Amino acid sequence: MAAKTIFILNGPNLNLLGAREPEIYGADTLADIETACDAAAGAAGFAADFRQSNTEGTLVDWVQEANAKAAGLIINPGAYTHTSIALLDALTAANIAKIELHLSNIHAREEFRQRSVTAAAVDGVIMGFGAAGYILAVEALKSLLQKRSA
């Protein structure tokens, strides 16, 4: 039997991980995180569809695609966390399990980064654990899906 697919979506500038402010975001590259997510998803019984875009509309399209095709969704909206009503609306319309994820603790950052517009449309938020947060998000998504199917 084929594994259920989960989408793991990454927003703007996350393609620069490893080089961009490693004191905040860590030394792992997005490719490193994708490899870890593939392994964690496989161990949890999922196939991971891992993507990154710097474009808001593309992320909206992918959230809609996830709603149609995926068992669940993990999203690191990057800077769109704080500004994107379009992404909030797409997440609100998606009737799948959803987790928002941030490498850093946004509540310990600059004031303009401390509010998440998109968090209101997800089941939970994981932040502040660096790249390990992605693995925590896969486990949390597995738990959510198990609860929903019980």
**DSSP label at residue 99:** E
**Lowest mean per-residue pLDDT among 11-15, 24-28, 37-41, 133-137:** 24-28
For residue range 34-71, list pLDDT tens digits in order.
999 999 999 999 999 999 999 999 999 999 999 999 99
For residue range 69-86, list pLDDT tens digits in order.
999 999 999 999 999 999
Is 46:5 a contact under the CB 8 Å cutoff? yes
Total-model pTM: 0.93
Is 123:97 a contact under the CB 8 Å cutoff? yes
Q: Percentage of the chain surpassing pLDDT 90?
A: 83
Is 47:6 a contact under the CB 8 Å cutoff? yes
Backbone angles phi, psi at 81, to 5 degrees: -50, -40
Is 7:49 a contact under the CB 8 Å cutoff? yes
| Positions marked active-site | 25, 102
Average pLDDT, the chain: 94
Rounded to an integer, the average pLDDT of 97-107 is: 94
pLDDT for position 1:
36
In the chain the domains, ranked by start, together with CATH numbers, are: 4-149 (3.40.50.9100)
Rounded to an integer, the average pLDDT of 101-123 is: 90
pLDDT for position 3:
65
